[in-house]
């Protein structure tokens, strides 16, 4: 096969890809240290700190909870992630929870039961693509590292610790209004990943004037704010047409499902007849 004909070239691209991923991971892991002036280089290139941001404008305001608890400063921030036009393209540090201990990243993009996505009563729902716009940051800091919920090597979270159980409860409380908003926003399309992606892209085009704010500039002890969703009653349309003709329409429209054919042709008729 052709891709085996230039092994050195293939190896080069693979190496470049690995290095780029390494740069992104290091940049977010040590973003707070880099922002404070510490220089970290990869292949003689100094890394810029990963921008820790959330969406903040006239429509959206993130939640923030701060407190001191048993020698640990707790700072929890969550809301809608920035860069909505890129939501369908995965970007590290933009989905789920990112947890730092003494400014070092311990969990990145966590969407597991570790950070409350259990689907159980009192917790967050099971993670689903409809929550891809959720972005959360947790900062735990202490003058005594022994107070932090870390394992003995200080490389992983000790989820069984009393402190983390306490922090997790605060994370879930702060996040629930965000997940509720996103669930209501995309619930009609929950079973269709492509429909969700399409909706996010369409929304992004309509919301180009959004603002992202570095988390350090956010007010303390605030609640999540988002536009109230206007509920529109939905109706289901069902009809049958010859499969061969439907397949031709799908090919012509560049879509992959019969539902898209029905939905798009309906939208075309509404636009053509100027109904609405």
Q: What is the pLDDT of residue 85?
A: 47
Predicted TM-score (pTM) of the model is: 0.69
Rounded to the nearest 10 degrees, the angle between the axes of helix 243-253 and helix 258-272 is 70
Higher pLDDT, 116 or 10: 116
Residues 6+ apart with CB under 8 A from 7: none
Residue spans of the domains in the chain: they are: 2-46, 53-217, 243-272
Percent of the chain's residues with pLDDT above 70: 80
Find tokens 């870390």 and name the residue.
Answer: 150
Q: How many CB atoms lie within 10 A of CB 102?
A: 18
pLDDT higher than threshold 90 for residue 224 = yes
The mean pLDDT value for 177-204 works out to: 68
Q: What is the pLDDT of residue 260?
A: 86
Of the listed ranges 43-52, 78-87, 159-168, 173-182, the one predicted with least confidence? 78-87
Do 130 and 186 touch, CB atoms closer than 8 A?
yes
Q: What is the pLDDT of residues 128-145, one digit of tens each?
A: 988 989 999 999 999 999
Q: What does pLDDT average to over the chain?
A: 82
For the structural domain made of 53-217, what CATH number should be given?
3.30.230
Both tokens of residue 121? 């009563």
């Amino acid at each position: 096969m052709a891709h085996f004909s230039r092994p050195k070239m293939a190896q080069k691209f693979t190496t470049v890809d690995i290095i780029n991923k390494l740069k992104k991971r290091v940049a977010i892991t040590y973003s707070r240290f880099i922002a404070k002036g510490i220089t970290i280089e990869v292949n003689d290139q100094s890394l810029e700190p990963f921008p820790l941001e959330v969406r903040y404008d006239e429509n959206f305001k993130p939640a923030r909870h701060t407190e001191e608890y048993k020698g640990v400063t707790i700072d929890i921030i969550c809301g809608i992630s920035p860069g909505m036009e890129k939501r369908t393209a995965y970007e590290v540090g933009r989905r789920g929870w990112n947890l730092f201990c003494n400014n070092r990243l311990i969990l990145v993009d966590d969407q597991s039961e570790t950070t409350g996505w259990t689907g159980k009563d009192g917790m967050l729902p099971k993670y689903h693509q409809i929550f891809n716009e959720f972005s959360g940051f947790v900062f735990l800091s202490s003058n005594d590292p022994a107070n932090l919920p870390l394992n003995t090597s200080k490389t992983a979270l000790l989820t069984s610790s009393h402190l983390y159980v306490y922090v997790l409860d605060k994370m879930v409380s702060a996040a629930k209004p965000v997940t509720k908003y996103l669930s209501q926003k995309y619930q009609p399309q929950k079973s269709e990943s492509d429909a969700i992606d399409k909706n996010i892209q369409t929304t992004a085009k309509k919301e180009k004037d959004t603002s992202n704010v570095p988390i350090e500039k956010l007010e303390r002890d605030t609640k999540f704010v988002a536009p109230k969703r206007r509920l529109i009653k939905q109706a289901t349309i069902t009809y049958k047409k010859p499969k061969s003709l439907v397949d031709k329409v799908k090919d012509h429209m560049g879509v992959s499902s019969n539902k898209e054919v029905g939905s798009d042709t309906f939208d075309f008729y509404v636009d053509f007849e100027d109904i609405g």
